[in-house]
Structure 1
Amino acid sequence: MQADPPFLPRPHLLSQRWLDVAFLHWAVDPDAVRHLFPSGVAPDALDGQTYVGLVPFRLVGTAIAGGPPAPWVGTFLETNVRLYSVDATGRRGVVFLTMAAERAIAVAAGRTVFGLPYRWARMGLRHDGDLRTYAARLVRPGPPVRSRVSVRPVGPAIDGPLERFLTARWGLHVAHLGRTWYLPNTHVTWPLHRAEVQELDDGLLAAAGLGDLARRPPDHVAFSAGVAATFGRPVLASTPRI
């Protein structure tokens, strides 16, 4: 794993902050999720296991190409279902299966421009002391898909091999326009704290093709106040790194 943030060539595409981030992770056999990855990308593994992540957070202050932060459209709640990936060039990243977000215009832009699996959702975040409760309901025809997660930080900072595996990710892989792309990013090392789940009632994992995974407790739970991130230009996943 490349633990330190990489150099990100200019021009930069956009920047944003990811705040009040809860990380819930389940260990799974890589072969159980291999079919969910885009062409040319495989599950990344640590000690023979890969992970499924459920990650609710606040996305704040998106700014395009070094411009000023968008005051409304660039700030919203989001909950992601994600996997951990590696391509033939050795680039490690994430693959998103679902990206629930409460801004319809951001959903449309993410789907159209980058091919990301954004879904419009009604969302909420409640603070009760150090307890965070995240709620999401996908807006779509058919049966409702909901997620409700409450987490509380309970311990000191953590920064071990598993934490680095899950969060030292410098890009994402996505299938778009018939090709597989890598969208690079950079950010400081995540300040993580151990956390515990107070409530978990989630349908996003099942809707993303992961069965009843959410019925068992996650294998790893962490919380972060957040980081600032910057994205570079997308490149084909088969293109050697700069």
Structure 2
Amino acid sequence: MPLAGPRILRQQWLDLTFLHWAVEPASVARFFPAGTRPDTFEGRTYVGLVPFRMVGTGLPYGPAVPYFGTFLETNIRLYSIDETGRQGVVFLSLDADRLAVVAAARTVFGLPYRWARMGHERNGGRHVYTSTLRWAGVQAESAVGVEVGERLKVGPLEEFLTARWGLHVRRGGRTWYLPNEHPPWTLNNATVTLLDVNSLLRSVGLVVPGRLPDHVAFSAGVPAAFGLPVGS
């Protein structure tokens, strides 16, 4: 969805694995900022865990930020809708392996970034992502491995999970909506080959699902841009 106003940031999201568990909306409602609620698909909402590579972060024009503009990230997210009908995501955590990025994102946008030691290995269609938090007072680690399969036909559920054009965040006593734009996702089926995420999910206060993800997909990635935040 094209941004209505000026762009403030651009980046590329590459080699993403989307892991999703369906949950009852009431079980996660406490995490949503004022003026938003869990968005639902067929009566359920979803917990998403997404490891990926962030590449080429920079201002709307000119070169990307060297070194600090490229890093690994793993985020845990929920799916939100506000009183105006804007659909978005609520991040419970965004773990990255650049301390300066963590500090800047927390200060400027109020996002719950945390510093971590992270790795990403690719061997053909196999991807393995690892993370160990380096954050005071929190001990958590994760390991996710997938085997990428055939092209996935994007249906209503995939649209619900990935066609999100902004995020909701609480900052300065208000709930803000930070819009973004990117091309439609090209998705592939993916099979989980490694999954150790219990301590990471617990670190943000989630009850650990006693099952494999209900939906798994992979994307080679998209370019993205963010616009000015809008208060509610």
TM-score range, shorter chain: over 0.9
User: Per-residue deviation at 1:140?
Assistant: 2.2
User: Per-residue deviation at 1:142?
Assistant: 4.1
1:81 to 57, 76, 81: 76
Whichever residue aligns with residue 208 of structure 2, its letter is: D
User: Per-residue deviation at 1:206?
Assistant: 1.3
**What does residue 207 of structure 2 align with?**
211
1:112 is aligned to 2:107: yes
What SS class does the counterpart of residue 204 from structure 2 fall into? helix
Structure 2: distance between partners of 1:28 and 1:134: 24
TM-score (normalised: structure 1): 0.93
Query: Deviations for 1:131-184, whole angstroms, at most 9, x for unmatched residues?
Result: 100001110234620010001112223200000000000000001111100000
TM-score (normalised: structure 2): 0.97
- Given the superposition, is the C-alpha separation of residues 180 and 143 from structure 1 closer, same or farther in structure 2, using an over 3 Å criterion? closer
| Aligned residue pair count | 231
Segment of structure 1 superposing worse, 52-61 or 195-204: 195-204
Q: How does 1:160-199 map to 2 (within 5 A)?
A: 160-199=155-194
Structure 2: distance between partners of 1:46 and 1:9: 27
Identity of aligned residues (%): 57
**What does residue 10 of structure 1 align with?**
5
Q: How does 1:101-140 map to 2 (within 5 A)?
A: 101-140=96-135
- Please say if residues 99 and 119 of structure 1, whose CA atoms lie closer than 8 Å, have aligned partners that are also in contact: yes
1:226 is aligned to 2:225: no
- Please say if residues 9 and 226 of structure 2, whose CA atoms lie closer than 8 Å, have aligned partners that are also in contact: yes
- Return 5+ residue gaps in structure 2 as ranges: none
Q: CA RMSD in A?
A: 1.0
Whichever residue aligns with residue 150 of structure 1, its letter is: G
Structure 2: distance between partners of 1:141 and 1:195: 34
- Please say if residues 16 and 218 of structure 2, whose CA atoms lie closer than 8 Å, have aligned partners that are also in contact: yes
- Given the superposition, is the C-alpha separation of residues 87 and 79 from structure 1 closer, same or farther in structure 2, using an over 3 Å criterion? same
Structure 2: distance between partners of 1:180 and 1:43: 15
Whichever residue aligns with residue 147 of structure 1, its letter is: S
Give structure 1 regions of 4+ aligned residues with deviation exceeding 3 angstroms: none
Structure 2: distance between partners of 1:111 and 1:158: 36
Whichever residue aligns with residue 106 of structure 1, its letter is: V
- Return 5+ residue gaps in structure 1 as ranges: none
